[in-house]
Structure 1
Amino acid sequence: MEVCHCSLSIQENPTFRNENIASSPTPPTLTTRHEPSQPEDQQPSLQGATSSWTSDGKLKIIDFTKTQELLVPAPSNPFEAFWLLLDDNYLDMIVHETNLNAVRVFGQPGVTEKSRITHWKDLDREELMIFLGLLIHTGTIRLNRLNDYWKKHWLFNLSCFSQYMSRNRFMLILRCLHFTSEPSDEDRLNKIRPIMDHFNNTMNAIYCPGKQLSLGESMVLWRGRLMFRRSVKIHMA
């Protein structure tokens, strides 16, 4: 079996050539070129190809064998529910990493005697719990700036913040808060990877979800620098 390939070639008529008159090409002519085709055993097979959909396929149904339940005793108050996600060992890890990061911040160039980091003192577990409580409370009382929670003006007088921690100490802990000291060039979430893994492992241990789940996404307005940021124009934060 041979396949015929057609190609165009333009030939010039020598009788019309003249030094003063441009040559006029003749109409294109067809020439054929024959090449051997592929062997029959190497040609693609059309067996199994269909031109219409069939309805004889069956979808495999996977039975749901789990039960939606809490795998630990039910908490009696919000503090016990919060404590299910954290434990003493993990809090001690955050304290350790934060203190190490404070030493690195103190050693950075540009630090002077008047810098806030020069007043750093080691963080402990009890103070970290106070810091986390105040940080969560800023989500229930919305103000424009963190400094506003420590204002003495009667419009902003929230005594619970200044009663438990000074503004400078809160800002300093927030500046040095850290979760890992291990660098990684491959994992862009390396700095928060330990807390993400801890949360996922803890949820697997304390809760079993049901068969039907509604998964949503939380959109947070972010104007900072993020290498893997994706812009979704149809979603407004």
Structure 2
Amino acid sequence: MDKKRRRTEKQVDFYDNPSDSQLDEGSNDSSDSEFSENSMDSDYEVVSETEDNNDVSEASTLSTGDNLWTEIPQNPELFIFQENVCFKLDTTNLTVQTLVDLFFSEEFLALLVEQTNLYAKQEIANLKKIKKSNRASQWIDVTVSEMKVFIALLLQMGPCTFPSIEHYWSRNKLYNVMFWRSHMSRNRFQLLLRYFHLVDNSVPSSDRLYKVRPILNHFNDIMSQNYVPNKNICIDESMLLWRGRLYFRQYIKNKKHKYGIKLSELCESDGIVMKIRIYSGKSEKTDNNLGHTTDIVLHLAEDYLDKGYTLHMDNFYNSVTLTKLLTTRKTYVCGTLRKNRKENPQDVINRELKKVEVTWQRNGLVTVCKWKDKREVLTISNMHVVEMVEVSNRNGKLSTKPNMIRDYNKGMSGIDRSDQMLAYYTCLRKTIRWPKKVALHIIEIYIHNAHKIFQKITAS
């Protein structure tokens, strides 16, 4: 029994990788990425500097295998940001409807209509006998205009939350809202919700995500083709609640939704989601031999390398090897680091610090820094010369932190902000079919993106 318990705990630790912006135990996913005495996890270490940079001798340089770590400071390379941050379509008479229609294009709606009708026919054909009272016997092929109304009604269930779908059509005084009844009958809505589909089930596929692949690719293509993000971007995980049986379901104890489907997302620091990758299990293939987390980073950031972007990541992704690789691709890196990663400077890892003390070492342009406040925190960067700076928290209280921590906190809040906004008006409900929930979640993410982009454009 003890062996089994130890083995289970080891497996949980592997996946238990909350972003450092969510280290406050029991906190909501929407909390800001702020390092404080209440938001630090004992497994995370940060670095800061106490020694005079000018008082360095040959003894301060040491060799760890093939890695040469030194305490001699060096100014980082200047990677010029080459992109023009913009929305690529004409914004002269831009409306929210224009942005929404960009996602719900004629081709995409035609796909939804075609596959929904096909899936309904396949399911009805599999029924041995359909009673006249069964809703399936009333099935009529959905049209594009009806699909638009269905999606609109579904999204409107977010701001107007009732206990169940039936309550939206209820004539009870407490729930009597004409909006839904005036656009679609309850039976028709539930039929469309039952058969809402994206792919042909009769076509075999080895891809575990094939049922959501069309909408996932559609979202990524729309964002990459039409919007150029600002210089500060970040990569982090988001959890979509799912407690049903699923091979690649994840458990992350510090998330609000501890069980669910893990989405790795590339975001702007203000919350616009640029690209999504869904974790589909340990057996998912990688495009290189550098490991799973490195593959996720390179996949999500492939369109933004060699352009001078600043990429913020937590310690689930960061390593010395990855930072060196991204440095060759003219991309800045700033984030936290796990103390057991390969190639870490052991002098920094093993050095005991007093409160507010800092220590660091550099290997080429890669700097690893450890700082102690209430706990030790490790950070890694290829864009900083370590120095202590004054930082004010949300209450206006001043404190002193390394500049790497300050910049990490500023740049890492994108996914938290996105999750926070989506949680307010989500239309997601309990279902026995995970592809449907993922598809609706991606639609909600795009609607939030459209809102943020419209705000940006109209404010400028």
Aligned residue number for residue 207 of structure 2? 187
Pick closer, same or farther for the CA change 1:48–1:78 going to 2, 3 Å. Answer: closer
Q: How many residues align?
A: 191
Higher fraction of strand: 2
Who is 1:106 aligned against? 124
User: Is 1:136 equivalent to 2:136 in the alignment?
Assistant: no
Q: Does 1:71 align with 2:88?
A: yes
Change (3 A) 1:52 1:157: same
Equivalent residue letter for 1:62: F
1:6-28 CA-to-partner distances (Å, cap 9, x unmatched) read xxxxxxxxxxxxxxxxxxxxxxx
Distance 2:160 2:236 in 1: 25
The residue that corresponds to 2:194 in the other structure is 175
2:72 is aligned with 1:53: no
Unaligned 5+ segments in structure 2 are 1-62, 258-460
Letter of the 2:155 counterpart: I
Aligned-partner Cα distance in 1 for 2:73–2:214: 45
CA contact (8 A) 1:184 1:190 kept: no
CA change 1:179–1:48 in 2 (3 A) is closer
1:181-232: CA deviation from partner (whole Å, max 9, x where unpaired): 1644421111110011111111111101111124555433322222101100
Q: Shift of residue 48 of structure 1? A: 9.3
Q: Which amino acid letter does the alignment assign opposite residue 102 of structure 2?
A: L
- 1:1-237 maps to which residues of 2 (within 5 A)? 49=65, 53-54=69-70, 61-74=78-91, 76-113=94-131, 114-181=133-200, 183-215=203-235, 217-237=237-257
Residues 78 and 60 of structure 1, relative CA distance in 2, 3 Å threshold = same
Percent identity of the aligned residues?
Answer: 30
Instruction: Report the CA distance between 1:175 and its aligned residue.
Output: 0.8
When residues 188 and 57 of structure 1 are mapped into structure 2, their CA distance, relative to the original with a 3 A threshold, is farther
When structure 1 is superposed on structure 2, of 220-229 and 161-170 the one drifting more is 220-229
Cα 1:91/1:52, change in 2 over 3 Å: closer
Q: Which digits, 9 at most, give the CA deviation of each residue in 1:70-121, with x for residues without a partner? A: 0012363322221121211211111111111111110123442232111100
> For residues 184 and 231 of structure 1, do their structure 2 counterparts lie closer, same or farther at Cα, with a shift above 3 Å needed?
farther
Task: Give TM-score, length-normalised by structure 2.
Answer: 0.39
Q: Is the 8 A contact 1:150 1:157 kept in 2?
A: yes
TM-score by length of 1: 0.72
Q: Which amino acid aligns with 1:54?
A: T
Q: Which blocks of at least 5 consecutive residues in structure 1 are unaligned?
A: 1-46
In the alignment, the residues of structure 1 paired with residue 67 and residue 227 of structure 2 have an alpha-carbon distance, to the nearest angstrom, of 49
The structure with higher relative contact order (CA 8 Å, sep 6+) is 2
Greater Cα shift, 218-227 or 85-94: 218-227
